[in-house]
Structure 1
Amino acid sequence: MAIEKCREYFKEFNMEDRILQFDVSSATVELAAVAVGCEPERIAKTMSFKLDEEPILIVLAGDARIDNSKYKGQFHTKAKMLNQEEVAEFIGHAVGGVCPFGINEGVTVYLDESLKRFTTVFPACGSSNSAIELTIPELERYSNFLEWVDVCKNW
């Protein structure tokens, strides 16, 4: 189970007890905000793309949307999302629980600027009923991100 991968990952840092598990679904931004009890924009959603045939993740604020022209400006290609089967295969978590923790080798993680306006955010933890509250410096550290990008709109 992918949440166990996240639990093992956070065990390295003595943080596995910070993982929140809910009796309700947190598979969408709206559901996660209700489960956590925060504003939807503070949900750190993780989107999966294919870049030059390699999987990448972009973590962005719950109210942000990928801006195709900004994405193309950053990555020099059109945004091409992974389908559900590819997400599970290439990332190691299923849709609804995708996060940058406990992922497969070779997946590059980017953080979007839309997250920087918050003190803490709530990314998923590998399942459709989990999350963890992290500060932005903690998100930077534990996501093993490559760089901050500005590829979103409407926030």
Structure 2
Amino acid sequence: MSIETVKAHFRQWNREHDVMEFATPSATVEQAAETIGVIPARIAKTLSFRGEGEKAMLIVAAGDAKVDNKKFRHTFGFKARMLTPDEVLEQTGHVIGGVCPFGLKTELDVFLDDSLKRFETVYPACGSVNSAIELTLDELVRFSSAKEWVDVCKGWDGAEPDSQETVF
């Protein structure tokens, strides 16, 4: 079970008991925000993309942010292509709605989007469609083994999304 691998991941910092499990689903940003009682932007959603080669990459972004294809291509040097649900499960070990950068099935590159920097704490999922944990940004960096902060999202800073670009 995926939530168990996430709890095992947090055990190394004695934080496995901080993983919250809910009676109601928290699989979408809106469901998670309502369940936890925070604004949707504070939900740290994990997006899965095809990286270079066969390996996937994860981007953790604020709940109100959308990937900007132009920024993504400029940052990584290739087009943003999301994984299928089956590929997400195969690469991460987590189902859609519970994807997080913790307790991963395979070692993947994790990037954190600047859209998260507005908050002292955020709420990423924990491997199931009804779980989350509250983390500071420093904890998110440490626990996810994030490679770096990136600026690949739009729509969160009050700017209107460019209608020419695909919004994920």
Short-chain TM bin:
over 0.9
1:83 aligns with 2:84: yes
Hey, what's the Cα distance between the residues in 2 that align with 1:8 and 1:38?
26
Q: CA deviation at 1:106?
A: 2.7
Show the counterpart of 1:66: 67
Unaligned residue ranges in structure 2 (runs of 5+): 157-168
Show the counterpart of 1:132: 133
Paired residue secondary structure (2:98) = coil
Higher strand residue share: 1
Hey, what's the Cα distance between the residues in 1 that align with 2:19 and 2:34?
16
Show the counterpart of 1:36: 36
Per-residue CA shift, 1:87-139, capped at 9, x if unaligned?
00011111000000001233110000000110000000000000000000000
Show the counterpart of 2:100: 99
Show the counterpart of 1:45: 45
Q: CA deviation at 1:6?
A: 0.5
CA contact (8 A) 1:44 1:122 kept: yes
Paired residue secondary structure (1:25) = coil
> 1:102 is matched by which residue type in structure 2?
G
Q: CA deviation at 1:4?
A: 0.4
Hey, what's the Cα distance between the residues in 1 that align with 2:137 and 2:108?
20
Per-residue CA shift, 1:17-61, capped at 9, x if unaligned?
110100000000000001111000000000000111310000000
CA contact (8 A) 1:55 1:106 kept: no
Hey, what's the Cα distance between the residues in 2 that align with 1:105 and 1:13?
20
Q: TM-score, normalised by structure 1?
A: 0.98
Q: Which 4+ residue blocks in structure 1 deviate beyond 6 angstroms?
A: none
Show the counterpart of 1:121: 122
Instruction: Return the index of the structure with the highest Cα Rg.
Output: 2
Hey, what's the Cα distance between the residues in 2 that align with 1:105 and 1:28?
24
Matched positions, count: 155
Q: TM-score, normalised by structure 2?
A: 0.91
Show the counterpart of 1:25: 25
Paired residue secondary structure (1:116) = helix
Show the counterpart of 1:108: 109
Unaligned residue ranges in structure 1 (runs of 5+): none
Paired residue secondary structure (1:82) = coil
